[in-house]
Amino acid sequence: MVSPLEPRQGRQDDGRTHARPARPLDAHVLRTLSLDLIGRPPFAVEVEEWSGKPVQAFLDTVLGSQEFWEHWYEEQLYYFLLIDNFRPATDSTRTIPAKLVEGRMSVRDALHRVALSSSFNLRNPGADTFVTVVMEQVVGLTVQKHKAELEIGKRVYDGHNGLFLGSFGENQSDVVRIAIESKAAARAFTAREFVRMTHREAPKKELAAWTRKLHKDPHTFIEVVREWLLSEAYEARLAHPVPLANRLFVRAVFVDLLGRLPEPAEAEPLRNALDGLSDSRPLRSVLVRLLLDSGSVPIPEKNSIRDVTEWVAGLFPRFLGREATPEELKAFVLAFGEPECRPKTILYAILSNAEYHTF
């Protein structure tokens, strides 16, 4: 079936981060915010609960929640490639999301603990690799431009006294501590998180202000994120769909079709397989087909659908976060009238369309 979905249009923006007027949650905003903040689409009960309510109320509930911090933590592990066999499995790392919820740990503390973990050490063995990763991924420096600093860091890693990034250290733990506590690390983290939330680069002036704030008190992270999400920058983000990462796609398709999140044993092999491909779209379509054919997806019988237009119209907000256009409705209803077309065919057409793979 050739998809009758129309291309989604974006609009121009100037990248500003000023606060925007309050707006109610519609299907698009709710789906996008949910994917950005907790790494999944909203469940049906959440759509019913939140539709039409103010964005601010949703943020009050989600920001700082257990699910928010769990997703944040998973994104940090993915950033440092601490996945699969390198995933931290100690109590000190497993409890990070809960301690963030309780306020007993800041984002800086959490990153510090991750970088001190045996998993981080195993993932980055040896002085050269370890210090390079710390300098580039934690501090945001290009090692090729700071070779002298790299050599100092390697000496400190090996147990010698040295002035690394402007502070004295004498062992591997000091390399991590000095890097994590540096203002450069606060700037790199702030810039990275702004991109993760808004999918655009942070303006230099605002980035400097946010960096100062988070460097002084990393417990203000939620406050800063809230500012981002209520800004014109995020409004512009909503108007410009971005690709759905493989790890988010796996979670999204399980929620959308099965009404539940995948278990780690389900999600990780699928994410791994998708990440191993230069173009994961064909395998994504196979996964959609397998789920639709599994017998676990609640799909109505064709003859039980009394109002085809109403049924098709309800699929668009559910899966794409928007209303169908009159032309799309007409095309889908016409296709549904063909003898060989089944409800499953319509579902597959929507979920295998390029628009489903953006948000």
For residue range 155-171, list pLDDT tens digits in order. Answer: 999 999 999 999 999 99
Q: Is 50 exposed, middle or buried (0-12, 13-18, 19+ CB in 10 A)?
A: buried
Residue 197 pLDDT greater than 80, yes or no: yes
Reported as a pLDDT band with limits 50, 70 and 90, residue 14 is: very low
State the average pLDDT over residues 68-88. 98
Mean of all residue pLDDT scores within the chain: 95
Q: Write down the pLDDT at residue 12.
A: 43
DSSP string, 250-307: HHHHHHHHHSSPPPHHHHHHHHHHHHTSS--HHHHHHHHHHHHHSS-S----GGG-S-
Q: What residues form DSSP beta bridges with 24? A: 54
Q: What is the pLDDT of residue 44?
A: 96
**Residue 3: its pLDDT value, please?**
57
Once rounded to an integer, what is the mean pLDDT over residues 55-83? 98
Residue 38 has pLDDT above 90, yes or no: yes
The string over 216-239, giving b where at least 16 C-beta atoms fall within 10 Å of a residue's C-beta and e elsewhere, is eebeebbebbebbbbbbbbbbbbe
Which pLDDT belongs to residue 8?
Answer: 52
Confidence of residue 19 (pLDDT cuts 50, 70, 90): low
Question: Per CATH, which fold does 242-359 belong to?
Answer: serine acetyltransferase, domain 1 (1.10.3130)
Q: What pLDDT is recorded for position 21? A: 56
CA–CA distance, 94 with 107 (Å, rounded to integer): 15
Domain ranges of the chain: 124-181, 184-239, 242-359
Please name the residues in contact with 27: beta carbons below 8 A apart, sequence gap of 6 or more: 47, 51, 317, 318, 321, 322, 323
Average pLDDT over residues 179-185: 98
- Please state the rounded mean pLDDT for residues 29-33: 98
pLDDT category of residue 200 using cuts at 50, 70 and 90 = very high
Per-residue pLDDT, 10 = 45
What does the alpha-carbon distance between residue 152 and residue 133 come to, in Å, rounded to a whole number? 14
Structure confidence by residue, pLDDT tens digits, 202-236: 999 999 999 999 999 999 999 999 999 999 999 99
Q: How confident is the model at residue 138 (pLDDT cuts 50, 70, 90)?
A: very high
pLDDT of residue 23: 72
pLDDT in tens, 303-352: 999 999 999 999 999 999 999 999 999 999 999 999 999 999 999 999 99
